Structure 1
Amino acid sequence: MSESRRPLRALQAVPAPVRWLAPPVVLLGCVAAVMMTGPYQPPTTAPRPPADAVGPCQALMKQLPATFEGHPRTDPSPYVAVWATSPRTVLRCGVPRPASLDAHKHDIGPNVDGVTWYQEGDGYGGYKFTLTLHQLYVEVAVPKGATPYPVDPLAPISPVVLATIPDLSGDLNNPID
């Protein structure tokens, strides 16, 4: 018997109902596995801020609110804050400049309490906001469903940014209209 016919012969030995039910059961198992992974969670990997960003990032992290809408904050690294929204909201200080910012530099993102943020989709229905017009980049990832409105976390964060992250002129507490 040829080698190519051996798997077919073995498959024919399996009772017909099992052969018919196997593909739907495997498909159902794959769908269940995908569904059990839960919603998208933004990464909490620590950025490597430039040396001149370390001090402002540390100051920002010290002054960030301990809770957001009743959700506690954890700091998995000196440059990352995570609020336990579902899914989690993540702030990363000292991230690199977003590559898409060059292509969209004239797009206006939200201005929250005098702080301008660059807004882009995260690819999963949520948003990523990056601080602009300041000496370093701070990213706030707000996945779909984490808050009623995607910009909600920016309200408690923006005043802290003004107090800790210098603008392009080197000034603190200088709201940009």
Structure 2
Amino acid sequence: MTSFRRRLRRPVLLGPSAAVLLLAAAGCSTTDTHASITVPTPTPEAAAYCRALHKELPKTVAGQERNDPGPKSELTAGWGDGAIVLRCGVDRPAKMDDPMAKGAEANGVNWLLEQPEDAGPRFTTTYRKAYVEVSLSTAYAHDISPLAAFAAAVKKTVPSSI
């Protein structure tokens, strides 16, 4: 058993071919920089608003470049590597029936706040003819400023329901 311990203490040196093989395998990893999300299935009316919204969305949000998640859809968009994800045409959240639900306002657009477990905040527009959901990573746990980037596009393309 002592000889086994001695072998553990010795550093393992790789030959040139083994090191190249190890680096090549690391370079071939299948990490996907696009997040994968569920595409909503809105009514035809809501889908039309969502398609219009998709055309108006900003190229950057909170310093994050546009990087749409898969599968590609006019109902979804993303920024960063899943840091900010927008889905348009989602169902009305049940939380909207809660009179104690928390909300926020960003540049004239009202949002319902939900805080899923082990995830960053999720916001859904209120008083609009299509529900727009924005999920933020935990990096934005106490920061709703990314919502301001969506206000102009939402106001322009998704009419108020009141």
Q: TM-score, normalised by structure 2?
A: 0.70
Question: What is the CA distance between 1:44 and its match in structure 2?
Answer: 1.8
Question: What is the CA distance between 1:91 and its match in structure 2?
Answer: 0.3
**Is the aligned partner of 1:100 residue 2:95?**
yes
Question: What is the CA distance between 1:71 and its match in structure 2?
Answer: 1.8
Q: CA RMSD in A?
A: 2.1
Runs (5+) with no aligned partner, structure 1:
1-40, 170-177
Question: What is the CA distance between 1:160 and its match in structure 2?
Answer: 1.0
| Aligned counterpart, 2:143 | 150
| Aligned counterpart, 2:67 | 74
Moved over 4 A (4+): none
With over 3 angstroms needed to count, the CA separation of the structure-2 counterparts of 1:42 and 1:152, relative to structure 1, is farther
CA contact (8 A) 1:72 1:83 kept: yes
> What does the per-residue CA deviation read over 1:115-174, in whole Å, with 9 as the maximum and x for residues that have no partner?
1100010211521000001111110001211x47431210110121111100014xxxxx
1:79 maps to a residue whose letter is L
**Is the aligned partner of 1:119 residue 2:97?**
no
CA contact (8 A) 1:80 1:90 kept: yes
SS in 1 for 2:41: coil
Alignment partners' CA distance in 2, 1:60 and 1:117: 16
Max Rg structure: 1
- Seq. identity, %: 37
Match of 1:54 among 42, 47, 59: 47
1:90 maps to a residue whose letter is V
Question: What is the CA distance between 1:74 and its match in structure 2?
Answer: 2.7
Q: Would you say how many aligned residue pairs link Structure 1 and Structure 2? A: 126
| Aligned counterpart, 1:133 | 127
Instruction: State which drifts further: 48-57 or 67-76.
Output: 67-76
2:126 maps to a residue whose letter is T
